[in-house]
Structure 1
Amino acid sequence: MATVAVVGAGVTGLVTAIECARAGHRVCVLDRGPVPNPASTSADQHRVLRVLRPDDVDGTVRMAEARRRWSELEALLRTSVVRPVGVVTAGTAEELERAFGTAGRAGVPATAVAPDTLPPVLFPAGTGGVFDPGGAVLLADRFLHAAAAWLAAHPAVTLRPGCPVAGIGDHRVRLTDGSVVDADLVLVAAGPWTAALAGPPVVLHRQTMAYLRPPRHLAAWWASAPGVGRIGPDRRAWLLPPGGGALLKISSDAVCREVATTAEPDGEPWADRLLAEPILAGAEAYTVVAVRDCHYAADAGTGGPVLARIRPSVWARSACGGSGFGAAPLVAREILGTIGNAAVSKANDKECA
């Protein structure tokens, strides 16, 4: 049995804590706020779980496995957190042909979708859709609360809310009050603040999202609608359908921007720009309930998600947007597989001391 310290009670931290506890390890979850923390990057009504990654066969296979593991987590928590409504991705004829080729080589299903079968959604001119039936909508806040409750009831797990972290060392977490938590393995998954604690360098992004209530006459249609992506004038917009207590959410990379810190002020009318995007037919009939900014970090070199092994005993996972939710079970399994080596490293350190 090893001891695992998880810094950050977002999706990656909680999924990793669950997998480690199920494997028989002792787990301590620390967060500077409550667990779960409504101010965390992971906190949201819903996130998309995509399986089909056009032009990426290996990525599609990996996400199919992640999707299966999300179903296992849902069964473990005995809480409905996954809405299996599928995901549609818009594309030109050439792009759709490549997407179907990717699906065939990865062994996942995919079907063509005509834009007129999704009349409330504005498809870019000259595009159709590919439907990924394995895709889904994850009820993010519901999962975070269910995961925290499961961990709180587990005898090998300790939850420590209100414990801000000052620094990370080999096999240890130093808190701002001067106390230290020792562990065989440490995972730092503290959202955009991860890089400051454990590296590596990242670029911080801010994304504006809007939450809408559909008009009453479309409520029944939206109840079973899929997620839809690569829409909008420059094909950088996404929408997640309402359901399970969540509203309709729209977002677009057109209003994604780099920021120095999460506290950096915004002087631009980003919400107005997002709401002006041609995403929904008859958009004036939808009620804007809320607008929210979220932050995520991307690798400074590749621009992609960050998962780094800083030391034999320390892993770092910065917040990386919706893809971080989808891949969280895969990240957890990868980290879990290194616990034995981390424990050996700790024993060797003690002998040398």
Structure 2
Amino acid sequence: MRAAVSAQHVVIVGGGVTGLLTAVECALAGHRVTVLDRGPIPNPQSSSFDQHRVIRTFSPDDADATRKMTAAHRRWQELETLFATRLRRPVGVVTAWPRERLDAVAASAAEMGARVRTVEPRALPHLEFPAGSAGVLDVDAGVLLAERVLHAAARWLAGHAAVNVRPYREVTAIDGDRGEVGLADGASVGADLVLVAAGPWTRDLVGPPVVLHRQTMVYLRPPQDTVRWWESAPAAGGLGADGRAWAVPPGHGTLLKISSDAVCRAVDTTGDGDEEGQAPWVERLAQAPPVSGLDRYTVAAITACHYATDADTGGALLARVAPAVWSRPACGGSGFSSAPLVAGRIVDVLREGAA
């Protein structure tokens, strides 16, 4: 828990994972918080609303990313205690690597103090590894129960005296110099700091420039003879014949989710997502699927999600876009798992401003 130098008012635009966890951390630090969303809170239309998301703790050759994600994982564990709700499935994450890279990946992990081990494809018979590859298991990684996270955070915020949760409040304008948020009904809300975490729509409110992406995800029910195996299976990436697919295992009420970088595309707007036919993208995914015997699985749902990345780096983005305004466009699964880091950074900004 962070102690605030002095109580400030924080307005958060967006009821997704970044907005909700930032509201939690600010309230814990002693600040007043107002959370606004154009829909319900949590909002099923938010880019972070999903059954599950992967959280990794090891990033080969990137000690800084490994350190940050290890800290994020530790905070997720603490949030489970705070919310008195199980938020994680600690099943690990396997990534397929060419065999000639395995020694280098293991050495990188040892240097960073990350717990990994090599897994042969035969030990994971229902996952489709590329030819000439083996798996590296990130032991401390796993799956976040994303929908459960959002509901747990919203419940906690609704019961906190310093938090004002205001669903169905569409934000139409933001005065970055004054820290004032204008609403569609003509009202306005002032703040010492505004965080705009409204998913891909963040760029329409405050920027900065981002690239919008659309990704097709397929949710499956495994065949009955594989159900028990999947209950303890790790999440996995780098799969399929092309090494671009991933699978998030079912469990705790979630379905098996598969997708691939091959079905991710840049788009100009999120507005036509519902009208776009998903069949061609599902067919492309089926050409190099992450699971064996895909035709034995039952399709439960097909969705198209959106996320945004930094136009320059292609990664996640947290930016100060005005004296009193910060911006966090959505960034897919990595944006979900790293949300505690964004929340902590905003609390630090408040402390630095009051010092």
Give the alignment of 1:165-244 within 5 angstroms: 165-169=171-175, 170=177, 171-244=179-252
Per the TM alignment, residue 335 of structure 1 is displaced from its structure 2 partner at its CA by 1.0
Gaps of 5+ in 2: 1-6
1:64 equivalenced with 2:70 (yes/no): yes
1:311 aligns with 2:322: yes
Q: Which position in structure 1 is the counterpart of 2:304?
A: 293
Q: How far apart in 2 are the matches of 1:101 and 1:94?
A: 13
Residues 1:266 and 2:288 are matched in the alignment: no
SS at match of 1:108: coil
**Alignment-derived partner of residue 261 in structure 2:** 253
Q: Which SS does the other structure have where 2:253 is aligned?
A: coil
Gaps of 5+ in 1: 345-353
TM-score (norm 2): 0.94
Number of aligned pairs? Answer: 344
Structure 1 distance, partners of 2:136, 2:180, is 47
Residue 48 of structure 2 aligns to a residue in which SS? coil
For 2:166, the equivalent position in structure 1 comes to: 160
Structure 2 Cα separation of the partners of residues 134 and 190 of structure 1: 30
- Is the counterpart of residue 12 in structure 1 residue 23 in structure 2? no
When structure 1 is superposed on structure 2, of 334-343 and 244-253 the one drifting more is 334-343
SS in 1 for 2:241: coil
* Mapped partners of 1:216, 1:60: distance in 2: 37
Q: Which residue number in structure 1 is paired with residue 295 of structure 2?
A: 284
Structure 1 residue 323: deviation in Å?
A: 0.4
One of 327, 344, 354 as aligned partner of 1:333:
344
Q: What's the counterpart of residue 351 of structure 1?
A: none
Match of 1:114 among 101, 112, 120: 120
Measure, in 1, the Cα distance between the counterparts of 2:111 and 2:183.
48
Alignment-derived partner of residue 43 in structure 1: 49
Moved more, 239-248 or 263-272: 263-272
In the alignment, the residues of structure 1 paired with residue 104 and residue 22 of structure 2 have an alpha-carbon distance, to the nearest angstrom, of 34
Displacement of 1:101 after TM fit? Answer: 2.1
Q: Distance in 2 between matches of 1:9 and 1:250?
A: 25
Q: Is the 8 A contact 2:128 2:241 kept in 1?
A: no
Report the aligned-residue RMSD: 1.3
Question: Aligned-pair distance for 1:38?
Answer: 0.6
Secondary structure of the structure 1 residue equivalent to 2:263? strand
Q: Check conservation: 1:210, 1:275, Cα contact below 8 A.
A: no
C-alpha deviation, 1:14, in angstroms: 0.5
Q: Post-superposition shift, 1:157? A: 0.4
Residue 343 of structure 2 aligns to a residue in which SS?
Answer: helix
The more displaced of 298-307 and 26-35 is: 298-307
Opposite residue 68 of structure 1, the aligned amino acid is: R
2-side partners of 1:234 and 1:277: how far apart?
6
2:105 to 99, 102, 105: 99
**Aligned equivalents of 1:95 and 1:293: distance in 2?**
33
Separation in 2 of the partners of 1:113 and 1:340? Answer: 45
Percent of residue pairs bearing the same amino acid type: 58
Aligned to 1:145: 151
Q: Separation in 1 of the partners of 2:313 and 2:303?
A: 27
53-62 or 66-75, which moves further after superposition?
A: 53-62
Say whether the 8 Å CA contact 1:185–1:342 is kept in structure 2: no
